[in-house]
């Protein structure tokens, strides 16, 4: 029977890596304490260090995916505003025809 993989939160991974990098605990101590394999901790440490520089990058506002989503929502809002105006005009035209045809 295959062993199911445990999923760890990003917060937990960061905590483990920071404990090692800060010198608060050795990798061996962390492995024993949390029941983790040393290869897994090495992998997390590598990812952490690889992405550490991105913390200090200028983001110039929003993430590209967020910008795309905002643009999509703005287009949708514009389309809906246009539809509302068309419906208002059609409603007023139909209302004036009805009142003109009523005796």
pLDDT of residue 2: 57
pLDDT of residue 59: 63
Q: DSSP for the chain, please give it.
A: -PPPPPP--HHHHHHHHHHHHTTSS-HHHHHHHHT--HHHHHHHHHHHHHHGGGGGS---SS-HHHHHHHHHHHHHHHHHHHHHHHHHHHHHHHHHHHHHH--
pLDDT of residue 67: 86
Global confidence as pTM: 0.52
The DSSP symbol for 24 reads: S
Closest CA to 93 of 103, 101, 77: 101
pLDDT along the chain (103 residues), means of 10: 74 94 93 94 94 76 84 96 95 79 62
pLDDT of residue 4: 63
pLDDT of residue 97: 74
Which tokens hold the place of 54? Answer: 């991105």
Task: Judge whether 14 and 8 are in contact, CB under 8 Å.
Answer: no
pLDDT of residue 56: 78
Which tokens hold the place of 50? Answer: 């690889």
């Amino acid at each position: 029977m295959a062993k199911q993989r445990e999923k760890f939160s990003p917060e937990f991974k960061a905590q483990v890596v920071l404990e090692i990098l800060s010198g608060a605990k050795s990798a061996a101590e962390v492995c024993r304490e949390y029941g983790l394999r040393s290869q897994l901790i090495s992998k997390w440490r590598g990812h952490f260090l690889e992405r550490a520089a991105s913390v200090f990058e200028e983001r110039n506002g929003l993430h590209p995916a967020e910008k795309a989503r905002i643009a999509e929502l703005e287009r949708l809002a514009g389309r809906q505003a246009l539809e509302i105006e068309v419906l208002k005009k059609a409603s007023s035209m139909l209302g004036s025809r009805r009142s003109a045809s009523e005796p």
